[in-house]
Every structure is written in C-alpha cells, then in structure tokens.
Structure 1
Amino acid sequence: MGFNPLEHQGIPLERQVRDWRELDVDPVDPDRGDPYTRCRIITMNGIEVEAILFNHQFARHCPDAEVKRQLAQVRYVEAQQQKAVNWLLPGLASVLETTIAYEQVAVDLTGWVARHEPDPYLRQAYEFGVLEDFDHLYRYANLYEMIEHRKAESIVDGLTEVMPGRPTKFHHRDPYDNVRDPYDRGTTDPLSKLHALTIMSAEQQTMNFYMNVGPQYMEPIARRLYQEIGLIEEEHVTHYESLVDPGETWWEQLVNHEYNECYLYHSFMEQEPDPKVRAIWELHLNMELEHLRIACDLMRRHDGREPREILAPELPNVLTFEENKQFVRHLLDTQMDLTTLGAGYVRDAHERFQRMQERIHGGQEPPSEQVMAQHREMFGREYRMETEGPHPDIASREK
C-alpha cells in the first residue's frame, strides 16, 4: 500500500512553533552537496511561498473571523517552514549561481511532470514550457561565464545539459495567447491537480525572484537579461495558473495545497541523500499532515463535502529529481517551432505573435541575443555543456 496522508496523524499545531535555535539551520555545502538537493530546496521554498500567499488571499476573502484565526495559525507555521527551507541555501552562492539552479529546477521538475502527466492537454503545456526554461538556463550560463568567469557545469554537475532551447526572443507572446484551458475539477486525475499546483508554484517563485534581484546588478547586460526573462516568467505563471479549474472552492483549494505539500515533502524525504536535509523534510511532512487534517475539517464544515471525494486515495509515485536529457532532446527535435494561439498551439507565427514581437523588440536585438553576442566577442564562442551525442545546430533553425 502507498502512503495516504489522510490516515496519518501529524504533530499537533500547538507544538509546531519553533524557536530561533531550531530555525537556525546549517546551509548545504555548495561545492560538495548533491545539485538535486539544492533543487529540492528551491522547489519546496516555492511551494511554501505559494502556501503562504494563497492563505493570505483566502483570509482576505473570508468573512469568518474564527476561520481567519485558524488560517493565521497555520500560516505562521508555514512561514517558519519557508524560512527553514530557504535558509538551507548557501549564503556563499551568488545571485547568478542561484538563478542557474532555479532554471535547473524549472527544466528537470517540469520535465519529470511532463513525462508523468496523464492528461495530454496538460502534458503539452508542460512540454511547451520546458523548452523555454531550457533556453533561459543557456542564456544565464553564458552571462555567468561573462561576469563571474565560471562555468555553469559547476552548478548543474552534468545532470542538466546547457545548450539552446526555443530561443528566448520568441517567448514574448500577446498576453491573450498565454491563457490555457483549465482542467475539469470533477473529472481530472487527482495527480494532474498536484502537477498543476506544483509547476505554478515553482514558476511563481522564479518570477518573484527575478523581479527583485534583477536591478541589483551593475552590469547593464545582466540588468537587461533579468528584465527580459522576468517578463517571460510572468507569461509562464499565467500559462500554468490558467490550467487550474477556477471553479474550485476556497476550501477545495486549501485542501489541495496541503495535500500537495504532503506529497512533495514525502517524495523528497524518500530520495534525499543529505541526512540533515532529509530530517527537515520529515519534520515538515509531519507538520503538514496536521495542516491537512485542519483543512479537511474546514472543508467538511464549510463546504459540506468529504475531502476524499477530491483527493487521491493515496499519494502517487514520488516526484523525483532526475536527468531528463533524452526527453528534452526529443522536444528540441519536435517542438522548437511551436507558439501559442488562443488556448492552443500552432507552428506558424500568427498576426498577434508578430505584432507582439515587433512591439517588444522595437526592431532591435533583445537582451537574450545581446548576451550571446557579447559572450562571443569575449571568448570567441558560446558556452554550452552537452554531455552525450551530437546535437543539431539549433541556431540554424532560428528565423
């Protein structure tokens, strides 16, 4: 039998508040740690940030003072969890190093989800996004070598390739075409709900990160590249959040958020090689089990429904950080020329796409192309890290 979080007791809420000593976690070693440990940390930070922001939005729309107090109690613990998780990242890492790790998360987390998504329409949404994050990783890797004179392979450790994806300059689309059709909350696989919430949360934290760190650079090319990719991350959040059925009630969304946290903490606890970090995943899982119980009670009381009606009977197979090289290469070979039209995808540039390209680029090369030109000028080449087999000359496909 698999793990069913509805059948396990967690730590009582009144025992979950930690003191400063407990929150003062030791960061992971940036040079000797598993790169996927860092990816799990970044992912769970995004999940916790989404839980906090959702809880705040729920409270702002909730007229029941007692419910708002319960939300506040859980939210405070979620905020402590977020601090403990995010503070696992090493302070020695530069913003660009963390950025490259963020994009490694985007590639390998979304890649895994796309490979395991049961719904073809949702799977296509993740496949489409992977190729764009893959190219962002490539652009930032070139910027990293230019500014810090180091190579991205020291961060991704050969687990994720660094080479061109769908060119970033083609990611700027009319906002009208960034909205997808949502899943049907009544018929969709519960796993699809977890996937949508996970990827939306991960992209949201990337968007927030770039919005805040971009202007901290002095180098003009860095400031421009963060500005460009930050705008694309806004498009990605729109792309992914629109997959969630807007008909889900606040109570249903609350339960889905808590169930998803149980799913991810359980998944990462199962695969984490760092015992110190694994202990945090286990502790937070036991906290989330209680948060889920509280959310389920609120749903029964205020929504008049049984949470088991909307949740999986047990957690699906653990979400795993692993190499997606062959999968991404297949997408490079088959989906490079896709863009969006309405809620679907097309291979031919259409009027709205062309108009947006002309408007945003203004007849000039965007920062994502400028960084490549400057890198070639400095080093006489582009930075790439390919780990297996020949790769087609993607640059020749850029039109």
Structure 2
Amino acid sequence: MTFNPLRERGIPLDKQLRNWRELNVTPIDPDHVDPYTRCRIIAMNGIEVESIMFSHQLARHCPSVELKQQLAQVRYIEAQQQKVVNWLLPGLASVLETTIAYEQVAVDLTAWVARMEPDPYLQQAYQFGVLEDFDHLYRYANLYELIEHRKAQKIVDGLTEVMPGRPTPRHHRHPIDNVREPYDKSSAAPISKLHALTIMAAEQQTMNFYMNVGPTYMEPIARRLYQEIGLIEEEHVTHYESLVDPGETWWEQLVNHEYNECYLYHSFMETESDPKVKAIWELHLNMELEHLRLAVELFKKHDTRDVQEIVAPRMPEPVTFEPNKAYLRELIATQIDYTTIGTGYVQEAHERFEKLQEALMGGEPAPSDQVLEENRGKAGEEYRLETEGAHPVFPLRSGS
C-alpha cells in the first residue's frame, strides 16, 4: 500500500514528550557501524536543525501569541528529536573524523539527489555543488592523515572514493555569482521542493559545524583549512537556498518542512540496517506525522488553496545512501572546469571570478593546496582512495 503521510495518524503531540532516560540513547559503535548509518544520522540532524530554525523565524514574524505558543510546543519536540539524532554520534570520534563523515554525506546525498532530480536547471545546481564537496572530502582526508596519522578509509569504508574533484581554490567566487534562479512553486514537481530543502539543510549544518569547530584546532594548517572551506560552505548555502521559491507563503513552507521530515524519516526507516537506529527513525516518523497534521491545519486557516496542490499525493521513492562512484567520475570528466556567472554556468574563468581570486589569495597558495603539499612532504604522497567497481555509469540527464 502506498504511504501517504497526509492520511496517516501519528502520536498525539501531548504524548510526544520524552524524559531524560528516553533521550539518553546509546550511540553507534564507530568501529562496527555501517558508514551510511552514520550518514543518515548526520543528514537527519541537519534536517531537524533546519526545522527548528525555520520555526523560530516563523515565530518572529507572527503577531499571534497563541500561534507562537503552538509553534513553541512543536519546536520543543523537534529539539528533543534533534538531540536524540545528534547524540547517536559517538563521543569517541574526533572532530576531523566527524568532518569526513559530514563530507561523505554531502557527496553521496547530493549525488543521489542530482541523479533523481527531474528539473534540468535544479539538477545542474546539484551536479555543480557535489564536485566541490567531493574535493573537500579529499582535502580533509589529507589533513586527517597529516595531523592524526590515519586513513579516511576507516571512515568511508570504500563506499565513497577519496580523490580530487573541482579544485577547492577554484570554489571561491564573487558572492553575486552564487545566487541561482528559484524553482516556480506553481509548476515545480513536489519532489524538487523536497530535494531543495534537503540539500539546503545539509549544507547549512556543515557551514555551522565548520564555523564552530574550526578555531578549536591548535594546528595552523587545520585552522586555515576549516576557515577556507567554511567560507565555501557559506557559498553553498547561498547557492541552494536561492533555489527555493521566495513566493511560497510561511504556511506553505511550514507544510513543506514537515512533509520533508516525514519523507526522510520514512526513507531512512525503510533503508536502515541498524535495528536500534531504525526504531528511532520509526518513532520520529510517527511524531512527525502529527507535526505535519498540525501544519496542514495552519495552512488551511491561512491559505485559500488545497494542501494537495503543494505536496506530493504519495510519498516519493525513498532517499537512499549508496555509492555514486561512476556518476561522480562522469561528472568529473565533463564538468570539472565549470564556474558560475550570474545565475548560470560557464567553463571559462571570467573577469569577476578572476578579480575575487586575486584579492582573496593575496599572492599565496590557498590552505587547501597547502595541506596537500604538507602531507606530500610528510607522507611522501597525497592521500587518495580510488576503488574498483565504478561501473555502470549513471547517465547524465538532459540539460546537464
């Protein structure tokens, strides 16, 4: 039977509060966990954080105390969900190990979305961004070997290759060239709206993570690399958030956020290999079904349309974490030299791009190049992880 979250009943809101014992979940074992279980945890943390921050922004624009109170009740439960999800990560992992896992999420989640996206312009945005995340993974893997003397293979487990993408120093663009054209809310496929929210949330949490953990390192090269890639994550959030139609009402956005949470919890429940984590996905899905119901009620009060006009009539195919090696190699072969100009893409550097590069670099190599040089000097070669099994190639869709 097709799962339709608009027709399912979840746990009543007044039954969703959990006590300290229930919130104190057992973290995953980093030495035995499926790397994609870790990826699902990181991805859902980003989704929950986005939901909480969106709710705060909505509350700041609401004159009604009663409405603020309703948002606060749901938001508190969302905050409990976020704590449970993020606290599944083990305290044993170093910040850099978690960073590499964040980049594995960015690579394989964005690649999957790019493969599934039906709109050629939106698909191009994901293809463009994923080649940069791919290179970030490569740079952090070299930093990991340089300062912790360990291999990223331990974390990604060969599911994601570690090799150069679009060179990180070439990611620094003039800010106006990071803004894309939004989808049209009246004609965009419902799945396109979910894709945009998902990748925006994932990149936003990475931006926030790097802003906060970067200065906690003592090693100068680590501090510099986090600073550089942290600036690029700001570009990525701009890139992805601009895909969302700003003409969507607050209530429409609220429904889309809650529907997307249902979609992702359902997807991860369907694909999770760890029974304890799977049980959390199922519990949170049943909570989110009620959050969606409440959001739909608010939509009906404040919007004249039928909610069926803005969401998918049935749950789309599950989001799947899986290797994307062939697809990424195909993108590297065809799009490695892309940059942006205005809301489009070009394969040649242009004056605005070159001026920003000159001003930012100041005549010195970027930290992302310095980390490769230092690791080559210490280890004799830079770290890479290229694996077998990069076929069959997933075809690039039209318009890419």
Range class of TM-score, shorter chain: over 0.9
Could you say what the CA RMSD is over the residues aligned between the two structures, in angstroms?
0.8
Spell out, residue by residue over 1:269-319, the C-alpha distance to the aligned partner (whole angstroms, 9 max, x if none). 001010000000000000000000000000001123221111100010000
State the distance in 2 between where 1:253 and 1:160 align. 33
State the distance in 2 between where 1:31 and 1:335 align. 36
Relative to the length of structure 2, the TM-score reads 0.97
State the distance in 2 between where 1:244 and 1:293 align. 23
State the distance in 2 between where 1:346 and 1:368 align. 23
State the distance in 2 between where 1:332 and 1:189 align. 28
State the distance in 1 between where 2:366 and 2:29 align. 36
Deviation at 1:65, TM superposition (A): 1.2
State the distance in 2 between where 1:57 and 1:192 align. 23
State the distance in 2 between where 1:219 and 1:27 align. 29
Aligned to 1:379: 379
- Identity fraction in percent: 75
Spell out, residue by residue over 1:145-168, the C-alpha distance to the aligned partner (whole angstroms, 9 max, x if none). 011110000000000000000000
State the distance in 2 between where 1:263 and 1:207 align. 24
Q: Which SS does the other structure have where 1:318 is aligned? A: coil
Q: Which SS does the other structure have where 2:247 is aligned? A: coil
State the distance in 2 between where 1:290 and 1:55 align. 16
**Count of matched residue pairs:** 390
Aligned to 1:186: 186
Q: Which SS does the other structure have where 2:322 is aligned? A: coil
Q: Match for 1:125: what amino acid?
A: A
Q: 1:78-117 maps to which residues of 2 (within 5 A)? A: 78-117=78-117
Aligned to 2:234: 234
Q: Which SS does the other structure have where 2:6 is aligned? A: helix
Aligned to 1:253: 253
State the distance in 2 between where 1:127 and 1:98 align. 24
Aligned to 1:14: 14
Larger mean CA deviation between 303-312 and 221-230 belongs to 303-312
State the distance in 1 between where 2:71 and 2:329 align. 44
Aligned to 2:129: 129
Q: Which SS does the other structure have where 1:340 is aligned? A: strand
Q: Match for 2:174: what amino acid?
A: D
Aligned to 1:296: 296
Q: Which SS does the other structure have where 2:340 is aligned? A: strand
Aligned to 1:48: 48
Deviation at 1:348, TM superposition (A): 0.7
State the distance in 2 between where 1:356 and 1:29 align. 44
Unaligned 5+ segments in structure 1 are 391-399
Aligned to 1:216: 216
State the distance in 2 between where 1:2 and 1:330 align. 34
Aligned to 1:205: 205
Deviation at 1:388, TM superposition (A): 2.1
Q: 1:351-390 maps to which residues of 2 (within 5 A)? A: 351-388=351-388
Q: Match for 1:383: what amino acid?
A: Y
4+ residue runs of structure 1 moved beyond 2 angstroms? Answer: none
State the distance in 2 between where 1:373 and 1:272 align. 39
Q: Which SS does the other structure have where 2:318 is aligned? A: coil
State the distance in 2 between where 1:78 and 1:305 align. 27
Larger mean CA deviation between 63-72 and 134-143 belongs to 63-72
State the distance in 2 between where 1:309 and 1:332 align. 38
State the distance in 1 between where 2:155 and 2:258 align. 31
State the distance in 2 between where 1:247 and 1:385 align. 44
